[in-house]
Amino acid sequence: MKLAAVLALTALGLLGVLWGVDLGVVRESLSAFDVRSFAVCWVCYYLTQCFRCWRLQALLGRPVGFWRLMSITSLGFLAINVLPFRMGELVRPTLLTDEGVPLGEGMATIFMERLADILMLLAFLLSVGWAVDLPPGGIIVQGTDVVAAGQRLFGVGVAVGVVGLSVVTLLGERALRITDGLPAAILVRRFVEGIRAFVLAPLRMVRVMGLTALIWVVTLVAVWATLAALPGLPSDPGAVVFVWTLTLTGLAAVPTPGFFGGFEALCVAALAVLAADPDKSRTFAVVLHLGQFAFTLTLGCFYLLKEGVTLAELRARAR
């Protein structure tokens, strides 16, 4: 029932995005759409899922099997997309406890994974001004200049992350003693120990950042395949990087439940800077988002059935 409610909300979100669109332009775009691009996109999405599993292995530094990590990752991303308030972020650490990974260490692993993604996104965000000419007034979505807000948000996030990692690494046991009186002292200790173990292994750091770069490159190929499959939309490398970077930045700066509505608005705003037709832009945004969502839903539901768990159980773990 909860999954049905999520799908109903998704349909309502899409209806809001498409309201007032020129259906003639949509039909024309879809009739010329190269359906083979869906196959390219799904291959890319599966490859990124594989790279995420290998990255998770590198972060953990533990002998957890690849296919078990594929199950954990697929269930986690399903939960992120269908559970409210991004509760799904907590699903993977709890599933990792079944493999003998302490909860605090699992949370540290996901924290480092997100920090690697933020570093990559910040690098792309700082380069978008070279890829395209940004409007003098910025790119405003729902009253927010998403580029400026994203640069501030991710810049502060990276700075706080680097300072925190430095303190944890340099102070070591002295930093842990500060937390010994807390109710969650063991959780905090495992989190800090997980962070230190990673920071003190530079080869693991290099491997993680290399896999993060591969995740981004392969995802950009999927975005390019969708843009190229819809005639009349820009699909050069600069446009692809700009559209995807702005979309991800905006989703962090202007979050929306389930990402529907916000994702499409941001894609359209990015393509508007590139002087693309707004109706074709909305068609692209919906096709891209539905393709990603369908992949996540399909793989996640497969592992729900395979593991014999339910969304309610995943939510209970997160809570």
pLDDT confidence of residue 34:
73
How many other C-beta atoms lie within 10 A of the C-beta of residue 203?
8
The DSSP line for 130-182 is HHS---TT--EETTEEHHHHHHHHHHHHHHHHHHHHHHHHHHTHHHHHHTTTS
Using alpha carbons, list the distances in angstroms from residue 259 to 19, 77, 211, 251, 300: 17, 13, 25, 7, 17
145: phi then psi, degrees, rounded to nearest 5 = -75, 100
pLDDT confidence of residue 43:
95
Using alpha carbons, list the distances in angstroms from residue 305 to 71, 106, 309: 11, 24, 7
pLDDT confidence of residue 184:
56
Task: For the chain, state the CA radius of gyration.
Answer: 20
pLDDT confidence of residue 173:
62
Given a contact cutoff of 8 angstroms between Cβ atoms, the answer to whether 261 and 13 are in contact is yes
pLDDT confidence of residue 25:
56
pLDDT confidence of residue 169:
64
Using alpha carbons, list the distances in angstroms from residue 258 to 7, 170, 308: 10, 39, 24
**Boundaries of every domain in the chain:** 24-313
pLDDT confidence of residue 301:
93
The C-alpha angle with vertex 186 and arms to 182 and 190, in degrees rounded to 5, equals 125
Query: What is the C-alpha separation between 10 and 6, in angstroms, rounded?
Result: 6
pLDDT confidence of residue 315:
83
**156, burial (CB in 10 Å: exposed 0-12, middle 13-18, buried 19+):** exposed
- Nearest in space to 91 (alpha carbons), one of 113, 106, 70: 106
CA 140 to the chain's CA centroid: 22
Residue 274 neighbours by CB under 8 Å, 6+ apart: 132, 234, 239, 242, 243
Query: What is the C-alpha separation between 283 and 25, in angstroms, rounded?
Result: 9
pLDDT confidence of residue 225:
93
Tokens coding 89: 């972020």
Given a contact cutoff of 8 angstroms between Cβ atoms, the answer to whether 266 and 141 are in contact is yes
Which pLDDT tens digits describe the chain residue by residue (319 residues)? Answer: 455 555 555 555 556 555 556 556 556 666 666 778 888 999 999 999 999 999 999 988 788 899 999 999 999 999 888 876 667 788 899 999 999 988 888 888 888 888 888 888 878 877 776 666 666 666 666 566 666 666 677 677 767 766 766 666 666 666 666 656 555 556 666 666 677 777 777 888 899 999 999 999 999 999 999 998 888 889 888 889 989 988 887 776 555 555 667 788 788 888 888 888 888 888 888 889 888 989 999 999 999 999 998 888 888 877 7
